[in-house]
Every structure is written in structure tokens, then in C-alpha cells.
Amino acid sequence: MNDITLTNTQGPHAHARVLVRGNASKPTRALLLFHGRGAQAENILHLTEKISVPDDLLVCAPEASGHTWYPNRFIVSREENEPHLSSALDVVDALIATCKEKYSIKPSDIALAGFSQGACLVADYIARNPKKYAGACIFSGGLIGSDEELEKEQWKGGLKATPTYVGCDVQDPHIPRERVEKTSAVLRTLGAEVTSRLYTDFGHAVHFEGIEFLSALLNRR
């Protein structure tokens, strides 16, 4: 395998281990996968077994220190999840930089997907670093921070029609429906093409529609 260690990150997730799969020799596109709380990078990589992976696709899955990206719920104030939150976002930034520096893959050819804590990380990163991405999948997650913080935020920049999936159960025990709806609204404000889905009787999981969205995203040209 071609697993790597990120050396240009700071804080609790410094020197994060990254599992590398797919085309690691001459990729032209990349998929970055982020696992949930208590999980490992290997867990989120199982998603690739359910989709059609293009021959030119690099797949990277970083692993959080202690298998947790941040210690508290994602709907509390951002400060309550520091310094882990900033360090986790630093990991995303470092991975995108690595794709550019090592493989000449620009953000518009990078898709990001995550589940639970990983989904929150993806949502928060693209909202605060808006530009054209190949796509984003937010599986049972949403923007990070308190309601008050999100209301005060001045969302600026442009996601430039980045295709984005936001999917969650209406009674997910970890993700309030209101935060899912707020996340979809903010990402639309930032210019993303959002496909938002609320399911019933599904639980805290990755819905098959989300997997189909990701597969279609990676295989369209």
C-alpha cells in the first residue's frame, strides 16, 4: 500500500495516518473520505466497495487521533471542540494541498465525503473554504457550531455549483433535523447544487441514495 503520514498538520491530529487506495501512481482525480466518531479509516473505505471506482481515482482516508475528530457534540460552540476541531480541519486542508503538490490534482477534481463526525467535517470545511470542488457527500451530519454561531456567520464565497448531497434520518439521535436543513440552506446560499434528503426509520447510517449519488458523481465526465 501507499499509505502516508501528514507532516504539515498541527494539534491533536498532527502526523495523521492516511490510508491511500485506488490509483496512487498517476491519478487525475481524488476522493477524500472521513470516518465517524470511534471508527477507523478502514471503516469509511468500505464505501468504495459499494460504488464503481474509476481507474484514475485516488482515494484517501485519514484517521483521527483516538478515532475521534473532536470531543463534544457538533452543535455546541466551536470553542468547546478546540483544539481538536481546528486540527481536524487542518487535516482536510493538508490532504487537499497534498493532492495538488504530489499529484497536480486541483480542488475542482477533488470530491469529499464523510459519515457522522466526518460528514460534519466535510460540511464545515467546504462552507468555510468555498470554491469549486468535484463534489461533496454529507452522510448524517451538518455544519459545526452552536445555533447562535451559525446565525451570526457571514457566509461568503462561492461553491460554484459543486454537486452536494446532504442526507439524514429525520429522527437521527445525533443529528437534529433543523441542523440538516440549516446546512442545506447555507450550502445553497454559497452556490452549491444541493440534493437534500430526509429519511424515516433509517437511523444513523449512510443511505443507499447517498452511495448512488457518490458513485454517479465519480463516474460522470
Q: Under 8 Å CB-to-CB from 87, ≥6 apart: which residues? A: 9, 10, 11, 12, 13, 14
What residue has cell string 457518490? Answer: 214
Q: How confident is the model at residue 30 (pLDDT cuts 50, 70, 90)?
A: very high
CB neighbourhood size of 118 (10 A): 31
Q: How confident is the model at residue 1 (pLDDT cuts 50, 70, 90)?
A: low
Range scoring the smallest mean pLDDT among 58-62, 161-165, 198-202 = 198-202
Range of the domain at 116: 4-219
Residue 210 has which C-alpha cell? 447517498
pLDDT of residue 221: 62
Query: Tens of pLDDT along 113-154?
Result: 999 999 999 999 999 999 999 999 999 999 999 999 999 999
Nearest to 200 by CA among 165, 170, 167: 170
What total number of domains does the chain contain? 1
Can you tell me whether residue 99 is helix, strand or coil?
Answer: helix
CATH code of the domain in which 39 resides: 3.40.50.1820
Give the mean pLDDT of 30-47: 96
Q: Is the pLDDT score of 181 beyond 70?
A: yes
pLDDT of residue 118: 98
Query: Tens of pLDDT along 90-115?
Result: 999 999 999 999 999 999 999 999 99
In DSSP terms, which residues pair with 194 in a beta bridge?
Answer: 164
Chain-wide mean pLDDT for the chain?
95
Q: Under 8 Å CB-to-CB from 167, ≥6 apart: which residues? A: 138, 139, 140, 196, 197, 198, 199, 206, 207, 209, 210
In DSSP terms, which residues pair with 110 in a beta bridge?
Answer: 30
What residue has cell string 494539534? Answer: 11
Query: Tens of pLDDT along 70-94?
Result: 999 999 999 999 999 999 999 999 9
